[in-house]
Amino acid sequence: MSTSVDQKKEVSTEVGDGAGGFAILFFLLGLVASLIVGWVAFPKLLYSQKNQPIDFNHELHIGLVDEGCESCHFFREDGTYSGVPKLEQCIGCHEEVQGQSKDEAVFVEQYVKPGREVPWFIYAKQPECVFFSHVAHVKAGGMDCVTCHGHIGESSSLKVYEENRITGYSRDIWGKNISGIKTNTYDRMKMDDCSECHVKKGVNQSSVQTGKGACFVCHK
């Protein structure tokens, strides 16, 4: 009697072992699958990819102008920043087709001649609640463009614009790295990155609630 019970016990434990093995296998499969979904598939789904209307060559232009970035991306007299150039600034040279590039022909035919502004995608566009002063950083803070914008000035072609489908923000705000790790100052441009630099540079940390930077410095 006792022996048969023991045998049964043995059998049941054996069956249990087999089920446990499957459970571990399914767990691992599930883990791998969800990691792939989370780290590879989700970011791909999250961001839509858009090409700029014209493939602008920064490298070529920066060799032709005298004042570097500020030749086209300048400050207005009231201290506001002009941002991405309007047709008005291009038209001086581009009234007629220059060179052989296909984009150049499209640019002149479709935008310059009808006087239509190019609908550029702005990589560094901040949310609406943010007030960012270029002049405070460049003139008062003495920073260069590369610190935040990277080496876009030396590129010969514009990268693909990636837009977050949920928030509508550019991927440059969160950064390429989905886990949020950054190696360069220009990898990410979230609020934490702004405040990190503000602390380093000794901008007044005048908030009563947090003892950190006040909200009404960058927010509006």
Site size with other proteins, rule: CB under 8 A:
30
Could you tell me which of 198, 216, 182, 181 has the C-alpha nearest to residue 143? 198
Is 201 a residue that touches other proteins (CB under 8 A)? yes
Stretch that binds other proteins, among 44-52, 71-79, 104-112, 159-167 (CB under 8 A): 71-79
Is 210 a residue that touches other proteins (CB under 8 A)? yes
Please give, one letter per residue, the 3-state secondary structure of 118-139: CCCCCCCCCCCCECCCHHHHHH
Is 4 a residue that touches other proteins (CB under 8 A)? no
Residue 171 — φ and ψ, nearest 5°? Answer: -65, -20
- Which is nearer to other proteins, 87 or 203 (by Cβ)? 203
Is 169 a residue that touches other proteins (CB under 8 A)? no
- Which is nearer to other proteins, 78 or 96 (by Cβ)? 78
- Which is nearer to other proteins, 102 or 220 (by Cβ)? 220
Distance CA 161, CA 163 (A): 6
- Which is nearer to other proteins, 62 or 217 (by Cβ)? 217
Could you tell me which of 152, 156, 155, 154 has the C-alpha nearest to residue 170? 152
Pair 95, 189: CB distance under 8 Å: no
Is 165 a residue that touches other proteins (CB under 8 A)? no
The mark string for 130-149 relative to other proteins (x by CB under 8 A, - otherwise) is -x-x-xx--xxx--------
* Smallest distance from other proteins to CB 158, Å: 26
Distance CA 176, CA 188 (A): 8
Distance CA 124, CA 187 (A): 11
- Which is nearer to other proteins, 141 or 153 (by Cβ)? 141
Q: Is 220 exposed, middle or buried (0-12, 13-18, 19+ CB in 10 A)?
A: exposed
* Site of interaction with other proteins (CB under 8 A): 75, 77-80, 127-129, 131, 133, 135-136, 139-141, 201-204, 206-210, 214-217, 219-220
